[in-house]
Amino acid sequence: MAGGGFVAQGEVKDYGYGVTMTMFVLMTCLVAATGGLIFGYDLGISGGVTSMDVFLEKFFPSVFRKMKDDSNNENEYCKFDSQLLTSFTSSLYIAALIASFFASATTRVLGRKISMCVGGCVFLVGAVLNGAANNVAMLLIGRLLLGVGVGFANQSVPVYLSEMAPAKLRGALNIGFQLAITIGILAANLVNYGTNKIKGGYGWRVSLALAAVPAIIMTVGAIFLPDTPNSLLERGHREKAKIMLQRVRGTNDVDEEFQDLIEATEASMKVEHPWRNIMQQKYRPQLTMAIAIPLFQQLTGINVIVFYAPVLFKTLGFGADASLMSAVITGLVNVVGTVLSIFTVDKYGRRVLFLEGGIQMFICQILIGIILGLKFGIAGVGSMSKGWADLVLVLICVYVAAFAWSWGPLGWLVPSEIFPLEIRSAGQSINVSVNMFFTFCIAQAFLTALCHMKFGLFFFFAGFVVLMTIFIFYFLPETKNVPIEEMSRVWKKHWYWGNYIPDSDIIGSVTNGGGASSSSSSSSSSSSSSNGSVELSKGKAVA
Ligand code: BGC
């Protein structure tokens, strides 16, 4: 999931604290949950709102008229095609992408908690603007501000978590962050279902404004939270860092971990050219994965469902209520599927999940495409009986389940567990940026694509699913249970990537000119990299 998997697998160094539930750890969990919820709520809320009549009538009257006008046998696929309507959804992700670059510097220079506060506050303003919106401009500016908030939160929360959590809890928190995102999506679907029933036509305002709740928790939490020992060290406060580590761990006996933190900080500070490093031939496998995996994750088409499920179900002929309820059902399936992946990912490995998930998604997409083609045809005229529409809903659920235990969590986990320290920050930035960029593209293009490609759109995504499944089969080695510092061996043994890895890299470590020795690499994987560790990185990695 969201989190990078440095911690979920590989060897986690045991500093002998056990799993101590200090107040800090508790707060950390809370921040983790709110950070994920904020992102998930945003992913899930827009689709339901844009399917509400009152909202459409107020802000997008032409779409509303098109939707209501059955008289001219309007093409079903094109009912919701409006660039303005899609920009309401997509603007958030482009803002998040741009903001994350600024957030990266803020997180490093001013610390993680300042970044979280900034993110929470900007997000709050966005939620208020959206809830109070009277025109499209207010809506869009609000969405952009939410995006800035998400950019900051996704940058700083995962870093904060990975640095605060004791090693033994880090894996759980890591996947818990992704789980929180799916719960956020589900919460948004439920809220939409409820607010749609509000008489008086202001339900959409409640939906949009409720985004403020997790944001307030995160902002207030961040005000009271201390900064992480890693961040204090990075900014030169060595004494304070040690005291903080003692408080966080609930014991004075932290020397060994503190020493590791210092080494990891020093090593990461010596990494001068992460961007140049990652271009070296020996990092070609990691660079390829940092681009291909997030790109393919978005090309599964999942966000078509996450963003537009209610709109899609309306297109299929479901009533408003049934559409929103169907979105709740897919949201629930998404949560359950993610939980399943937590229990299977380290047992069966990444490849099995990727391959099985790919095949399952492919079958569903093909069947959905065929059914839509038969019922609406190329002209997009027709209707669907309840039985057929229910079958489409079931197929969508089976598809979402497959995504939720494969490309959903693994799309974040795998890229983040394959970068050695010297390219970690650059690699994770690429991963996150590519993901956000294609999330934006899908959000912006879907409704138009549905209008023009019609049922063929499902075949289009199915084609990519075939491509990505073949790609995984041939090019992704199994990384389950492989400590990070051993990862170069995995690539070296691979039939294709082996050619890119010089033999000298295999002896013992992944040392390179950046000064990351095997020991620093190992300590960073067992604690967290002080340059803004990426262990829990749905969002951002590079502090
Ligand atoms: C993806 C999001 C998607 C979510 C659905 C995440 O892994 O990055 O784009 O909306 O899963 O659960």
Give the model confidence (pLDDT) of 356-384 as tens digits: 999 999 999 999 999 988 887 777 667 77
Can you tell me the distance from the alpha carbon of 434 to that of 429, in angstroms, rounded to the nearest whole number?
A: 8
Range with the poorest average pLDDT among 260-269, 284-293, 392-401 = 260-269
DSSP 227: P
Can you tell me the distance from the alpha carbon of 375 to that of 390, in angstroms, rounded to the nearest whole number?
A: 13
Q: Give residue 19's pLDDT.
A: 57
Which residues fall within 8 angstroms of residue 187, CB to CB, at 6 or more apart? 37, 40, 41, 44
Q: Average pLDDT over the chain, rounded to whole?
A: 82
Q: How far is the CA of 212 from the centre of ligand 1 (A)?
A: 21
Q: Distance from CA of residue 456 to its chain's centroid?
A: 27
CB 382 within 8 A of CB 455: no
* Percent helix, percent strand, percent coil in the chain, to nearest 5: 75, 0, 25
Can you tell me the distance from the alpha carbon of 542 to that of 154, in angstroms, rounded to the nearest whole number?
A: 10
The alpha carbon dihedral of 212, 213, 217, 223 has a sign of positive
Range with the poorest average pLDDT among 107-121, 129-143, 325-339 = 107-121
Can you tell me the distance from the alpha carbon of 108 to that of 113, in angstroms, rounded to the nearest whole number?
A: 11
Q: Give residue 533's pLDDT.
A: 36
- Which amino acid is present at 442? I
Percent of the chain with pLDDT over 90: 35
Q: For residue range 242-282, what is the model confidence (pLDDT) as tens digits?
A: 998 888 888 888 898 888 888 877 877 777 777 888 899 99
Q: Which of 104-113, 119-128, 407-416, 441-450: highest mean pLDDT?
A: 119-128
Q: Look up tokens 């210092």; give the residue.
A: 262
Distances (CA, A) of 193 to 48, 51, 309, 361, 363: 8, 11, 12, 27, 29
Give pTM, 2 decimals.
Answer: 0.82
Distances (CA, A) of 485 to 271, 316, 422, 518: 16, 50, 11, 7
Q: Look up tokens 């997009």; give the residue.
A: 380
Q: How far is the CA of 408 from the centre of ligand 1 (A)?
A: 6
Residue 538 has pLDDT above 80, yes or no: no
Residue 284 has pLDDT above 90, yes or no: yes
Residue 291 has pLDDT above 70, yes or no: yes
Phi/psi for 147 (5° steps) reads: -60, -45
Residue closest via CA to ligand 1's atom 6 equals: 408
- With a 6 Å cutoff on the Cβ, whether 89 touches ligand 1 is no
Q: Which two structure tokens, joined as six digits, stand for 153?
A: 């939160």
Q: Give residue 172's pLDDT.
A: 64
Distances (CA, A) of 84 to 59, 137, 281, 359: 10, 11, 43, 35
CB 189 within 8 A of CB 324: yes
Residues 338-354 have a mean pLDDT of 90
**Rg of the chain in Å (alpha carbons):** 23
Q: Give residue 169's pLDDT.
A: 66
The CA-based angle 325-190-134, given to 5 degrees, is 105
Q: Give residue 210's pLDDT.
A: 95
- With a 6 Å cutoff on the Cβ, whether 358 touches ligand 1 is no
Quick one: pLDDT band at residue 7, thresholds 50, 70, 90?
A: very low
Total count of residues recorded for the chain: 543
Can you tell me the distance from the alpha carbon of 202 to that of 131, in angstroms, rounded to the nearest whole number?
A: 9
CB 79 within 8 A of CB 310: no
Residue 509 has pLDDT above 60, yes or no: no
Q: Which of 15-29, 106-120, 236-250, 503-517: highest mean pLDDT?
A: 236-250
- With a 6 Å cutoff on the Cβ, whether 36 touches ligand 1 is no
Q: For residue range 484-506, what is the model confidence (pLDDT) as tens digits?
A: 677 888 999 999 999 998 887 76
Q: What CATH number has the domain spanning 26-503?
A: 1.20.1250.20
Nearest to 409 by CA among 494, 327, 476, 349: 349
Residue closest via CA to ligand 1's atom 1 equals: 408
Collapsing DSSP states into helix, strand and coil, what is residue 476? coil
Spell out where 43-108 has E strands: none
Mutate to test the pocket of ligand 1, among 295, 302, 308 (most ligand atoms within 8 A of CB): 302
Can you tell me the distance from the alpha carbon of 421 to that of 270, in angstroms, rounded to the nearest whole number?
A: 11
- Which amino acid is present at 293? I
DSSP 380: T
Collapsing DSSP states into helix, strand and coil, what is residue 300? coil
For the chain, the domains span 26-503
Q: Give residue 505's pLDDT.
A: 74
- With a 6 Å cutoff on the Cβ, whether 465 touches ligand 1 is no
Residue 72 has pLDDT above 70, yes or no: no
Residue closest via CA to ligand 1's atom 11 equals: 408
Q: Give residue 171's pLDDT.
A: 59
